Amino acid sequence: MNLRIGNGYDIHRLGRDRRLILGGVEIPHELGLVGHSDADVIVHAIMDAMLGALSLGDIGLYFPPSDPQWKNADSLVLLAKVNALILEKGWAIGNLDSTVVAERPKLKPHISAMREKLASVLEIEGDRIGIKATTNEKLGPVGREEGIAAYAVALLVSS
């Protein structure tokens, strides 16, 4: 069995009049993430980890913000495209692990819905997807609720 590992990171600003979508799940909150797409930092970090594992560049290369077709894009659609790309190259997800850093709102009640959503898009078992949430202990821009960040690691396998 061949193995490849990749990591990903993303951060988006919080702003008014935006929906908060994390891990493909809409979360009730007075602020949402600002971006060209739906700004789902968890899914963006996971896609970069998957691409990085195969040295395929980053999501900016495949879905450039300058391209109007990705405006307000559902990041789950982009995730399905990245998954199709790695499958086409003969690889599959061994497991994914992600940490989302947000001061508010409490994300714990939404984690299982995120894992289920990502598992269905990626067509893998939910127990191959880890998502953890933490605060930044009120430190820095994330701690001041100016944004939400996410980190991810992807292990890919090929037979």
Rounded to 10°, the helix 75-88/41-53 angle is 10
CB of 3 to Mg ion, least distance (A): 26
Site pattern 24..63 for Mg ion (x: CB under 5 A): --------------------x-------------------
Closest to 83 in 3D by CA, of 92, 73, 95, 74: 92
What tokens appear for 105 in the block? 């709102």
* C-beta of 1 vs 61, nearer to Mg ion: 61
* Run of H or E residues at 49: helix 41-53
Q: How many CB atoms lie within 10 A of CB 144?
A: 12
Stretch that binds Mg ion, among 9-17, 21-29, 103-111, 113-121 (CB under 5 A): 9-17
Closest to 131 in 3D by CA, of 105, 159, 151: 151
* Site for Mg ion contains 10 (CB under 5 A): yes
Stretch that binds Mg ion, among 2-10, 72-80, 101-109, 124-132 (CB under 5 A): 2-10
Residue nearest to Mg ion (CB): 44
CB of 13 to Mg ion, least distance (A): 11
Give Dmax (Cα) for the chain. 47
* C-beta of 44 vs 115, nearer to Mg ion: 44
Residues found near Mg ion in the complex (CB under 5 A): 10, 44
